[in-house]
Structure 1
Amino acid sequence: MQRRGSGRKGSGLTRGAAAAVAGVLFLAGLLFSTSAGTADGGDIRGGDEDLRGLVVDEGERVADLEAQVAQARSDVDALTAQDDVPGAGEPEASDLAAASQTAPVRGEGLVVELADAPRGTVLGAGYSLQDTVVHSQDVQAVVNALWEGGAEGMGVMDQRVVATTAVRCVGSTLRVQGRYYPPPYRIEAVGDPEQMRAALEASPAVQLYRAASDDLGLVYEVDEQDVDLPAYGGSLELSFARPASGS
């Protein structure tokens, strides 16, 4: 949506204030012209290949660190399973691992794929270029609906995720647990396919995406498949905001 000026006029500006305002307006105009040049031509994801390469390289570094964490967790699990460790082999331990997503899971489920509309898509009334690409809220809407449908385990791209995992847009990529991915986006879930499909159809956020898919050609594919998910290798520690201490 194009921003419109407020139409307000200032009065009584000093010479120094006027110069400052002129400088701000110049920088704003430069920013707007750069943004317009990037969007012109219909490829909202074009022009940021350097950024994409940088975040992918950084994602690979994070993946190496995650592999080290996963190996360390595997070593801990092996030690815990030894007969001389108190509590080893108790069913409560395996149940807790499954509930916290730290154990692998395999079974029937759904695979959902989301992708941008084709280049050169003709925009209908009420749509903008931003509507032709998949955003983090679209992926999160699918993930939330699958959890709501009783998913026992979930994966986004090549990562196992948990109920507290958030997906975010960074430029033209999707950030999941410190790693970055370009579209198309693949979400896998183990669980009852019919219940999860019903949850997808009932989700208002997914319905909005499907409407845009019908009008603009965004990809929305749901397939019933056997899904094999690895154990979750990330941290289970929650970070949250704290109230500021009083003076």
Structure 2
Amino acid sequence: MEIPGLTKKYVELNMGPQHPSTHGVLRLKLTLDGETVKSVEPIIGYLHRNAEKICELDYYCDSLLYFDRMDYVNALGMEAGYLEAAEKLLGIPPPERVLWIRTIMAELSRIASHLVWAGAFGLDLGMLTPFFYVFDLREKLLNIFTEASGSRLLTNYMSIGGVYQDFNDKIIYLIKEFLNTFPKKLEEVFNLFVKNDIFISRTKGIGILEKDVAISYGVTGPMLRASGVEYDVRKAEPYLVYDKLN
């Protein structure tokens, strides 16, 4: 795009870095041609906390506390991954009931994480209504985590060889209540997105991640599957009790 008076064809713009008190901060050096991003250089490391070295010096049980903070919207998933490795190194296989409980809690935590993404993504696109829908659903999940662990976000629920407490009647009731209402609510949220002109106009044909690029960059989860790669690590390399689930 050529503009009279400008000597540069492209405009260089810094996006961030955001203030260190916020979460997930990074800096993006953008090269723009009008509203088209020609190139981007991501600069990370603003939240480096030396967690790897700390965990080298700590006891296995103490290191677990740091993993909640690595992804606080999916803390239970972080705990499950760490304990999968730590228990193998220690030779402490957890009872099967513990594995089932961890799987259930990890899946609920995964859903909570996806709901945060959906709500925040909608806000970035100027869609306020879906945010309230998904965060209402997430609140029900946080109530489950609170009942199980005493904490909404940094749960520290799982432990080496076990969990903080077994499922009591209230936890089971809250989980069943969520599962009974979630499918219908999810359909409502889905329609708020895919039937919304704002969402379609601001996402269709934009930011396409081709299959080969996704694989080369090590993209995982829903992003990888959205690029057309039929791969789910829970099926390809099952852990916990995923091999016993459909």
**Which TM-score bucket, shorter chain as reference?**
under 0.3
**Taking structure 1 as the reference length, what is the TM-score of the superposition?**
0.26
**Taking structure 2 as the reference length, what is the TM-score of the superposition?**
0.26
Structure with a larger share of its residues in strand = 1
Structure with a larger share of its residues in helix = 2
Q: Which has the higher contact order (CA 8 A, sep 6+)?
A: 1
Please say which structure displays the higher CA radius of gyration: 1
